[in-house]
A and B are shown apart, each in its own frame.
Chain A
């Protein structure tokens, strides 16, 4: 089993390299580069621009440049970000933490809410509760996250204007006076700022997960071992939670790995809209300023986070399903 996990993770490595290579080609296709701002700066002599170019190998062919990038990557050096004037890894580590903070809360809430709702809808199939849930899910699945975010921002803003007190902040990650707060005040400030993005991300993922959980559960409940369990007089609770649920949850965990990708995508756009200093807004900045190393670093991190997501899903599967262990 352990070998299997390692093998599956290793497959990702060449894939990740290919993706970064394609990205590298694309960024270098674009006209202009990050050094343009130095070239047009009269305070910097053309000679020193040449020197910078040479130092970062910008004067070499694209393939060679990519080679240099790979070599540095082996030393865990992601390069230098010209737009942020800091090392790429330091910028990314900070931003990735922020993205993970937001998405992990969203992930936890999504599963905590969607799973019970899905089970409920399956057990009480075609009841009013199921119908209402289906109806809401249909809307939830089609509601674009960015639109929901804008609506919520507008709603919260209008409410706070109507003297309900400016309770929930609608942008950024901390208040302007964050540094002057006490430790607990800072935590509370973080929580308040998390409310909006977590709601948006949760609603986006909730609907489809609930539908899928319901579908899986229904499929299991139709199987013969459930009938057998009922026939031998097992209490309905045990039939559902001990028998059916444990089987229904397996495909959901595999899905968890994939849903991570969608979550990060949604989070990236949301970050840009609400000014959340995460990986997504960093990526946009990097793309706008053609900061090659920063773009590459962000892409790599996006990919690595996905791989980690898949890995976690695999490990969870081993824990939940004894059949996988052997």
Chain B
């Protein structure tokens, strides 16, 4: 199946500046996700409780009046103010130089390749001084590392979800539209049931069927299933509309005359016709999964600590009176926003490029 039947569509897509921008963002994000263990300086649950909500490390190039090519950081030391809150001050007595591709935590890349080199880290430090490029969370874990590991959940959940949604939505919509008549209206009334309830309510109700405390991989699976359960109906309805009109066309009659089975006609003749729409819909549906996961994790029904996902990292920001002391806990939200926007841009670009009328 040649998605871009001619070079024109591809060229059109490449001329869509927002789609290209979205594509670049996603390439960067997925690269980071793929090499998470290498890019994150620390493991996702590597905590140092003494560094609770430590501010982002400042990168310096000058120590004691001497310029150094290697960037360096100073550790933070803290005192308590009159409200018994920690105030962090840089302790400029001893510099810690940054190392690139240097040795650090021993982790397993993709779970089975042991590596100890990381993209960056703090060189020779017996005192376990840490670099926090965007600050730390409540128990002194590096927020950047957690965002990097969290992308493993937030950026993959959409693909698994979309796979289920599409299988269901396509077959259901295809069958409904092809047969038409009573079966069609019965199937559609059934599908509409899932669009009748505000999706967040349905999500909560479905989540309630399972124990609140589940392991992260179970929750991951559960979220995929729950959101697919909600999403498929909308897709099925649109595919049904398309296949209803395709089923009346001559080539379908021809296939029927040649004795092709109904299933073959639906799968081989009708559904491929809806493919260009499907590709657009896939891209535009992935954000729903990212947002759904974030929403559930944000309110504590999704991925649980110590596992990281962008949603549950953002839940630290729910305590508003505290965020002003450590506003960097809002940063995971920027990642959610950027990835959602990237998928939306690409979806828009694809729609314009694949639409023959434009």
Enumerate chain A interface residues (CB-CB to B < 8 A). Answer: 11-12, 14-16, 18-19, 22-23, 26-27, 29-32, 138-139, 141-144, 146-147, 150-151, 153-154, 157-158, 161, 170-171, 261-262, 264-266, 268-269, 272-273, 280, 283-284, 287-288, 290, 295, 298-299, 302-303, 305-307
Contact = CB atoms under 8 A, between A and B. Distances in A.
B314 A280 contact: no
Closest 8 interchain pairs by CB?
Answer: A142-B341, A26-B209, A264-B198, A265-B200, A147-B333, A287-B208, A265-B198, A268-B200
B317 A150 contact: yes
B119 interface: no
Contact of A154 (B18, B324, B336, B340): B324
Nearest to B234: A258
B330 interface: yes
Interface string B202-214: 1011111111100
Given A29-B210, A147-B336, 12 more contacts: A16-B196, A19-B197, A141-B344, A147-B337, A154-B320, A154-B324, A261-B195, A261-B199, A265-B199, A287-B205, A287-B301, A303-B196
Interface in B274-301: 287, 291, 294-295, 298-299, 301
B323 A146 contact: no
A141 B288 CA distance: 12
Contact of A27 (B195, B208, B294): B208
A306 B197 contact: yes
B337 A142 contact: yes
A296 B136 CA distance: 41
B272 interface: no
B193 interface: yes
A147 B209 CA distance: 27
Given A11-B189, A144-B294, A299-B197, A151 B320 contact: no
B192 interface: yes
A171 B324 contact: no
A152 to B, nearest CB: 10
Contact of A138 (B199, B333, B345): B345
Given A30-B211, A142-B337, A147-B336, A154 B317 contact: yes
A306 B212 CA distance: 28
**Among A22, A138, A171, which residue has the most Cβ atoms of chain B within 10 A?**
A22
Contacts of A158: 324
Contacts of A144: 291, 294, 333, 336-337, 340
Given A144-B333, A150-B314, A269 B200 contact: yes
Given A139-B341, A268-B200, A306-B198, A151 B333 contact: yes
A138 B18 contact: yes
Given A27-B205, A30-B209, A150 B344 contact: no
Interface in B318-332: 318, 320-321, 323-324, 327, 330
Contact of B299 (A272, A298, A307): A272
Contact of B198 (A22, A268, A272, A290): A268
Contacts of A170: 320
Contacts of B189: 11, 14-15
A269 B196 CA distance: 18
Contacts of B295: 146, 269
**Among A147, A170, A272, A287, which residue has the most Cβ atoms of chain B within 10 A?**
A147
A305 B301 CA distance: 25
Contacts of B294: 144, 146
A171 B208 CA distance: 26
B80 interface: no
Contacts of A264: 198, 200-201
B189 to A, nearest CB: 6
Contacts of A280: 200-201
Contacts of B198: 261-262, 264-265, 268, 302, 305-306
Nearest to A292: B208
A14 B193 CA distance: 9
A157 B299 contact: no
A154 B18 CA distance: 29
B160 interface: no
Contact of B324 (A146, A157, A272, A284): A157
B190 interface: yes
Contacts of A272: 299
Contacts of A15: 189, 192-193, 196
24 contacts: A12-B196, A26-B205, A26-B206, A27-B208, A32-B211, A138-B18, A142-B287, A142-B337, A143-B337, A144-B333, A146-B314, A146-B333, A150-B318, A150-B323, A150-B333, A151-B333, A154-B317, A157-B324, A161-B324, A261-B199, A266-B200, A280-B201, A284-B299, A302-B198
A322 B207 CA distance: 45
Contacts of B209: 26-27, 29-30
B201 A283 contact: yes
Contacts of B287: 142
Contact of B201 (A139, A143, A171, A265): A265
Contacts of A283: 201, 204-205
